[in-house]
Structure formats: C-alpha cells, structure tokens
C-alpha cells in the first residue's frame, strides 16, 4: 500500500519524507486555505521534497476553466496529479488530461457508481472519502470493498486512494481489502508506529542492557 500524506505543512512533509516511507502528497482547497500560503509556489515546494504524485486541485467547476487551471498546475512538475471533482465536467477534464498522459486524481467520491465512472474516464486515482461517510453513519470501508471488487473485475488501472482517513484502523482495513493507496493527516501515519508493548519492551531492553555494563561501540 502506498502512503500519501494529506497536508500542505512543509515541515510535516519533510519529516515524513525522511522516513523513506512516504510515496506522495495530497492537498485540497481547504488544506491550502488553512496553510495561508500561496498555492502554486507551495505545490512547487512540495514537489521539490517528494518525488511521488503530488495532488493539486482545480478551483473551478466548469470544464473550460478547469482545463485552463489544470494547464497551469501540470506545468509545476511532471509528478503533479491534477485533482478534479467527481462531476460530469470533472470527469470530462479527467478524460482529456489522462488521454494526454497527465495524472488525474478524481476526488469527492462517495459511491461505487461514481468510482466506476471515474475509472471509465481513465482516472489515475479515485479518492473515496471514508471518514466523511462514517461521519454520516454510512460505511466508508464498505465502499472501499465495493470499489476494489469492481476495479478487479474489469482490470481497471485506476488506483483506489483511500481518503478522509481518520484512524489507523481505516488504513489497516483498507489494506486488507487491497486498496492501492491511502492518504491521511500526518498524525494518523505517526499513530501506525505505536504499540504499548513496543514501548514497554524497549524500556526493559534498554534497562537490562544498561545493567549488563556492556557497550557495542
Ligand atoms: O483531501 C481529501 C480528504 O482526505 C479530506 O479529508 O478529513 O477533510 O474529510 P477530510
């Protein structure tokens, strides 16, 4: 499973990139607005830190303007994935861009029907929002299961990018289903390392080693 981080915080991105486990970055208009930074230079800076796909989302909602925005965004770097909303116009943009070899991440997916359309439009990534479905008492992970099954049935190349991740269990359950990618806030990625038995076991090893009086170096 590839790990993307859903943030525009450069310090967090640098820290995660240094682990060697980070495969890409996703942003959205809300994340950019929250960062208080200028969009295009910020995406450029992220692209300089991370080699994998960096999602940058169009702001318009009509075909012509989305295409113009995408033209600017894809010039930032070859590994920018243009993020478009799952609408008829968004999927038209997706088809036009992927036909030209540009990566496209189709976002705001909340149903298997929408995911099927995105795959037919040639999306590189489909982003189903598990957390937001859970928030309205729907089953976000059941949607991941359905999309993985449908994509497998037809050998679609579109990668399932599990988005709106709220907890490590979203990641583990999606990984069990074979989802290709997940994107989460940095805090959730950091939680993946944690287990109380690791902490207590390490504390015991450190103490026992100290008492042995030995040194490796
Ligand atoms: O970037 C898309 C998605 O990951 C947003 O998540 O937490 O705003 O529902 P969230």
Residue with tokens 């989302």: 57
What spacing in Å lies between the alpha carbon of 163 and ligand 1's midpoint? 6
Residue 184 lies in a domain: yes
SS (H, E, C) the chain: CEEEEECCCHHHHHHHHCCCCCCEEECCHHHHHHHCCCHHHHHHHHHHHCCCCEEEECCCCCHHHHHHHHHHHHCCCCCEEEEEECCHHHHHHHHHHHHCCCCEEEEEECCHHHHHHHHHCCCCEEEEEHHHHHHCCCCHHHHHHHHHHHHHHCCCCCEEEEECCCCHHHHHHHHHCCCCEEEECHHHHHHCCCCHHHHHHHHHHHHHHHHHCCCCC
Residue of 46, 82, 89, 44 lying closest to 65 (CA atoms): 89
Substitution candidate for ligand 1 out of 25, 27, 28 with most atoms within 8 A of CB:
28
The C-alpha atoms of residue 5 and residue 71 are separated, in whole angstroms, by 24
* R_g (Cα) of the chain, nearest Å: 19
Residue 156 lies in a domain: yes
What spacing in Å lies between the alpha carbon of 149 and ligand 1's midpoint? 23
Range of the domain at 33: 2-211
Give the model's pLDDT for residue 153. 98
Residue 179 lies in a domain: yes
Active site residues: 83
Residue 190 lies in a domain: yes
Give the model's pLDDT for residue 42. 98
Q: Residue 150: which CATH number?
A: 3.20.20.70
Give the model's pLDDT for residue 118. 98
| pTM, full prediction | 0.96
Q: Which of left, alpha, beta for 115 (phi over 0: left; psi -120 to 50: alpha)?
A: alpha
Could you read off the pLDDT of 141-187 as tens digits, one per residue?
Answer: 999 999 999 999 999 999 999 999 999 999 999 999 999 999 999 99
> Which tokens sit at 190?
């950091």
Residue 86 lies in a domain: yes
Residue 16 lies in a domain: yes
Give the model's pLDDT for residue 17. 98
- Tally of domains in the chain: 1
> What residues of the chain score a pLDDT lower than 50?
none
For helices 63-74 and 88-99, angle between their N-to-C axes, nearest 10 degrees: 40
Residue 201 lies in a domain: yes
The answer to whether the CB of 6 is under 6 A from ligand 1 is yes
Residue 216 lies in a domain: no
> Which tokens sit at 100?
């030209």
The answer to whether the CB of 4 is under 6 A from ligand 1 is no
The answer to whether the CB of 164 is under 6 A from ligand 1 is yes
């Amino acid at each position: 499973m590839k790990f993307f981080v859903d943030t525009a915080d450069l310090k967090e991105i640098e820290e995660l990139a240094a682990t060697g486990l980070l495969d890409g970055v996703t942003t959205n208009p809300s994340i950019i607005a929250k960062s208080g930074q200028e969009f295009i230079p910020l995406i450029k800076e992220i692209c300089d830190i991370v080699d994998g796909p960096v999602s940058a989302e169009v702001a318009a909602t009509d075909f012509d303007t989305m295409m113009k925005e995408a033209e600017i965004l894809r010039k930032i770097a070859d590994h920018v994935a243009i993020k478009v909303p799952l609408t008829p116009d968004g999927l038209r943009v997706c088809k036009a861009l992927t036909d030209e070899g540009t990566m496209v991440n189709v976002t705001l997916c909340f149903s298997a029907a929408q995911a099927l359309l995105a795959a037919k439009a040639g999306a590189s990534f489909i982003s189903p929002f598990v957390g937001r479905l859970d928030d309205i008492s729907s089953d976000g992970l059941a949607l991941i299961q359905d999309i993985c099954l449908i994509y497998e049935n037809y050998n679609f190349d579109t990668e399932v990018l599990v988005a709106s991740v709220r907890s490590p269990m979203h990641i583990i359950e999606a990984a069990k289903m074979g989802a290709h990618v997940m994107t989460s806030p940095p805090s959730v990625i950091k939680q993946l390392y944690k287990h109380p038995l690791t902490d207590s076991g390490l504390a015991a090893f450190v103490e026992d080693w100290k008492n042995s009086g030995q040194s490796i170096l």
